[in-house]
Amino acid sequence: MTVFVQECALGSANGLRVAIKDSIDIQGMPTRMGSAALAQAAPAVEHAEVVALLLEAGCHIVGKTNLHEFAFGVSGINAVFGTPLNHRYPDLVPGGSSSGSAAAVAAGDADIALGTDTGGSVRVPAACCGVYGFKPSFDRVSRQGVWPARTSLDCVGPFAADLAQLERAQAWIDPSFEAVPFCGELSIGLVSVDANASISKAVADYVAASGCDVAAVELPLLEAAFEAGLAVINAEAWGAFGAYVETGLVGADVAARLRNAANTGQQALAQAEQVRRDFRAEVDAMLARYSVLVLPTLPDFPLLLADALAGKTDIRSTALVRPFNLSGHPALTIPLEIDGRPAGIQLVGRHDQDALLFAAARELERRVTAYNNKHQRSA
Contact between 48 and 146 under an 8 Å Cβ cutoff? The reply is yes
Residue 201 appears among annotated catalytic residues: no
Residue 97 appears among annotated catalytic residues: yes
Residue 192 appears among annotated catalytic residues: no
Cβ neighbours of residue 92 under 8 Å, at least 6 residues apart? 86, 128, 301, 302, 303, 304, 305, 341, 342
Determine the Cα–Cα distance for residues 146 and 33; give it in Å rounded to an integer: 10
Determine the Cα–Cα distance for residues 62 and 26; give it in Å rounded to an integer: 11
Annotate the chain with three-state secondary structure.
Answer: CCCEEEEEEEECCCCCEEEEECCECCECCECCCCCHHHCCCCEECCCCHHHHHHHHCCCEEEEEECCCHHHCCCCCCCCCCCCCCCCCCCCECCCCCCHHHHHHHHCCCCCEEEEEECCCCCHHHHHHHCCEEEECCCCCCCCCCECCCCCCCCEEEEEECCHHHHHHHHHHHCCCCCCCCCCCCCEEEEECCCCCHHHHHHHHHHHHHCCCEEEEECCCCHHHHHHHHHHHHHHHHHHHHHHHHHHCCCCHHHHHHHHHHCCCCHHHHHHHHHHHHHHHHHHHHHHCCCCEEEEECCCCCCCEHHHHHCCCCCHHHHCCCHHHHHHCCCEEEEEEEECCEEEEEEEECCCCCHHHHHHHHHHHHHHHHHHHHHHHHHC
Catalytic residue among 23, 35, 75, 97: 97
List the beta bridge partners of residue 114: 20, 158
Catalytic residue among 121, 137, 210, 291: 121
Catalytic residues: 21, 97, 121
